[in-house]
């Protein structure tokens, strides 16, 4: 019961504080810009008499580009909205009035986590649907294996959310932000090293990327999502800039699930044992 | 077995019972050895200078801070017991809550955390808003509240579940005289319905008016526990305004008084009980002394506080 009360209040907080609405407004602005770009692109394709196959492939690349932008927005929104929820409430003492209620501490953490998950689910579903609706309307294409890609993008945000929660039970808001963004930055850089390593056929560089993904699997989930959603031709020709030269395996996806579960368990354990 | 059963019976007599409670933060002792018994139905004051360990002690009793060692029970159950919390109310020193809520929403949320029924909440929430004088502000967001108004809504949430044990940490902080009076009245009402109140306050005057008993805390230890307004506890100083007391008459007062000091305008006596004051007056009148004024005075809590913690406030 306590879990759902905390989840509800966390979701309502995001809505009342206009976090969700502002993020959706920024996403809406992005969709307008994206649609405008696609509109002019479609006009130019028609004017130059581009072949349908090439036109389709470029449109596929545009879908992935749009989804990549949404992925970045979702990552930032996940970190920025959740960063203050535990550490900030511990520092301000707001948590004291809740932690003295007949609700076990694990339910407080899990409830807050579920509230943010709900918000992220709504945000990612709306924005990914928006990108696909725009590309379908303008160019007649949508992402391939959309459900798989969407699930992986969602999982990436939930991994980051769980990491924020784990850090927030031990560190201040600022430290939590620095650590989480730092880890994601490491994964991002590792992902590119892995891509270039694969391109240059240097296995050691690929291994560096894999190690970075083990330390933080968020970026690997995006690259797997991009692989699932890209056109088969782009995947087989390995011409995409969005990370399909070295594709993270299914084992990496399961590892990310385990990583998520461990991060959440650390958050629950840390919060249940710390002084407030 | 018998010892255990006796122990349990004894535990249930007390709303709060601690033995050797200790808390060390990063090698720094915050609470050295808190041993305390607060019977049910009592208004108990927790007094001490800044940094004496009062707030940490309260937090340990509420399960917010984990003790390094020692034992503590509230309402007969070990601290940290989740179920017991449904019978406890708490007003933190600086009450902060989600400022995007209205007071009505805040009380409803706390009520749901207490697992209170909707019907009960429909009845309790307006009654409490009325009690703390916030009915006209029930639709305002907490972010628009003054410090005093936040304190009032914090007090309302502490009373929401009609708790058996209420922790009030500096409840009058930020309140005007009307608000302070309200807090006093609420504490009395809670005592009248049988609740136990632990009051943590710097305002000794408030504590003196409200509490049945107080504990003085210094350096993380209870250095003294005393009854408030107990005739048997402390000597009383009696000032007598009477200009013509002779040394012989003054000597005659020694049967009631441990010390007699004469002054040009009268004398000051130290007596053990207020009950002897009429006898002193009768004796002086019978001795032909003109008595203009007799004032029995107990040393104030503030005087005792300063005596115990020192004028440096324990710093």
Which three-class secondary structure string do you get for chain A? CHHHHHHHHHHHHHHHCCHHHHHHHHHHHHHHHHHHHHHHHHHHHHHHCCCHHHHHHHHHHHHHHHHHHHHHHHHHHHHHHHCCCCHHHHHHCHHHHHHCCCCCHHHHHHHHHHHHHHHHHHHHHHHHHHHHHHHHHHHCCCCCCHHHHHHHHHHHHHHHHHHHHHHHCCCCHHHHHHHHHHHHHHHHHHHHHHHHHHHCCCHHHHHHHHHHHHHCCHHHHHHHHHHHHCCHHHHHHCCCCCCCCCCCCHHHHHHHHHHHHHHHHHHHHHHHHCCC
| pLDDT, mean of residues A235-258 | 78
CATH of segment(s) B2-227? 3.40.50.300
Q: Which of A97, A98, A102 sits opposite B115 (nearest CB)?
A: A102
- A189-198, A215-224, B93-102: range with highest mean pLDDT: A215-224
B124-163 tens-digit pLDDT:
999 999 999 999 999 999 999 998 999 999 999 999 999 9
Q: What are phi and psi of B68, to 5 degrees?
A: -75, -40
ipTM of this model? Answer: 0.82
- The share of chain A scoring above pLDDT 90, in percent, equals 60
Residues of A in contact with B84 (CB under 8 A): 102
Residue A101 tokens read as 């209620």
B65/A17 touch (CB, cutoff 8 Å), yes or no: no
pLDDT reported for residue B231: 54
> Given pLDDT bands bounded at 50, 70 and 90, which one contains residue B232?
low
Residues of B in contact with A94 (CB under 8 A): 96-98
Query: Where along chain B do its domains lie?
Result: 2-227, 236-297
CATH of segment(s) B236-297? 3.30.70
pLDDT reported for residue B234: 64
Count of beta carbons in the 10 Å neighbourhood of residue A135:
24
* Plot region of B41 (φ>0 → left; ψ -120 to 50 → alpha; else → beta): left
Residues of A in contact with B100 (CB under 8 A): 13, 16-17
Distance CA A22, CA A27 (A): 8
Distance CA A72, CA A67 (A): 9
Name, in order, each residue with C-beta under 8 angstroms of A250's C-beta and a sequence gap of 6 or more. none
Q: What are phi and psi of B211, to 5 degrees?
A: -90, 155
Distance CA A84, CA A19 (A): 13
β-pairing, B43-47 vs B266-271, is unpaired
Order of strands, sheet of B293-297, starting from the edge strand that comes earlier in the sequence: B257-263, B266-271, B236-241, B293-297
| Chain B residues contacting A via beta carbons under 8 Å | 25, 59, 62-66, 82-86, 88, 90, 92-98, 100, 109-110, 112-115, 154, 157
A174-202 tens-digit pLDDT:
999 999 999 999 999 998 888 888 878 88
Query: Which residue in chain B is spatially nearest to A17 when comparing CA positions?
Result: B100
B69-92 tens-digit pLDDT:
999 999 999 998 999 999 999 999
Give the A window 102-141 contacts with B, CB below 8 Å: 102-104
Residue B307 tokens read as 């005596």
| pLDDT, mean of residues B85-110 | 92
> Given pLDDT bands bounded at 50, 70 and 90, which one contains residue B245?
confident
A94/B97 touch (CB, cutoff 8 Å), yes or no: yes
B96/A275 touch (CB, cutoff 8 Å), yes or no: no
Distance CA B92, CA A276 (A): 12
């Amino acid at each position: 019961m306590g879990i759902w009360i905390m989840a509800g209040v966390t979701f309502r907080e995001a809505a009342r504080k206009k976090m969700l609405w502002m993020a959706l407004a920024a996403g809406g602005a992005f969709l307008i810009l994206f649609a405008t770009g696609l509109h002019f692109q479609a006009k130019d394709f028609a004017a130059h008499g581009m072949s349908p196959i090439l036109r389709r492939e470029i449109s596929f690349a545009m879908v992935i580009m749009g989804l990549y932008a949404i992925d970045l927005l979702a990552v930032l929104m996940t970190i920025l909205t959740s960063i203050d929820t535990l550490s900030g409430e511990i520092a301000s003492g707001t948590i004291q009035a809740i932690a003295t209620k007949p609700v076990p501490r694990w339910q407080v953490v899990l409830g807050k986590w579920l509230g943010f998950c709900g918000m992220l689910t709504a945000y990612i579903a709306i924005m990914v649907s928006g990108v696909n609706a725009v590309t379908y309307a303008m160019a007649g294409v949508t992402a391939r294996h959309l459900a798989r890609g969407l699930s992986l993008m969602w999982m990436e945000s939930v991994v980051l959310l769980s990491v924020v929660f784990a850090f927030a039970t031990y560190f201040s808001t600022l430290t939590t932000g620095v650590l989480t963004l730092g880890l994601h930055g490491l994964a991002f850089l590792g992902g590119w090293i892995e891509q270039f390593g694969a391109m240059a056929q240097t296995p050691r560089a690929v291994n560096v990327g894999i190690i970075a993904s083990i330390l933080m699997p968020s970026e690997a989930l995006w690259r797997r999502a991009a692989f699932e959603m890209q056109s088969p031709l782009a995947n087989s020709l390995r011409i995409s800039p969005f990370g399909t030269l070295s594709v993270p395996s299914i084992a990496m996806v399961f590892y990310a699930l385990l990583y998520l579960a461990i991060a959440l368990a650390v958050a629950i354990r840390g919060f249940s044992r710390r002084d407030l | 077995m018998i010892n255990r059963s006796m122990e349990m019976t004894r535990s249930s007599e007390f709303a709060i019972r601690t033995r050797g409670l200790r808390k060390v933060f990063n090698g720094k002792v915050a609470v050295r050895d808190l041993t305390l018994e607060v019977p049910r139905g009592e208004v108990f004051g927790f007094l001490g200078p800044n940094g004496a360990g009062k707030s940490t002690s309260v937090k340990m009793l509420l399960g917010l801070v984990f003790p390094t060692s020692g034992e503590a029970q509230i309402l007969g159950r070990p601290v940290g017991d989740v179920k017991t919390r449904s019978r406890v109310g708490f007003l933190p020193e600086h009450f902060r809550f989600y400022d995007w809520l209205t007071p009505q929403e805040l009380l409803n949320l706390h009520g749901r955390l207490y697992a209170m029924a909707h019907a009960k909440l429909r009845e309790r929430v307006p009654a409490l808003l009325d009690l703390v004088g916030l009915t006209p502000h029930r639709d305002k967001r907490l972010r628009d509240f003054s410090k005093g108004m936040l304190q009032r809504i914090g007090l309302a949430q502490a009373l929401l579940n009609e708790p058996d044990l209420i922790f009030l940490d500096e409840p009058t902080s930020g309140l005007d005289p009307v608000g302070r009076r309200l807090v006093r009245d609420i504490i009395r009402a809670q005592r009248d319905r049988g609740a136990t109140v632990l009051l943590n306050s710097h305002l000794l005057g408030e504590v003196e008016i409200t509490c049945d008993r107080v504990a003085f805390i210094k350096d993380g230890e209870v250095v003294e526990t005393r009854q408030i307004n107990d005739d048997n506890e402390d000597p009383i100083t009696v000032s007598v305004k009477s200009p013509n007391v002779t040394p012989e008459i003054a000597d005659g007062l020694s049967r009631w008084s441990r010390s007699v000091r004469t002054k040009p305008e009268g004398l000051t006596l130290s007596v053990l009980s207020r009950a002897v004051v009429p006898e002193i007056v009768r004796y002086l009148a019978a001795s032909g002394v003109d008595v203009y004024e007799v004032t029995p005075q107990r040393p104030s809590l503030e005087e005792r506080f300063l005596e115990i913690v020192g004028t440096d406030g324990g710093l």
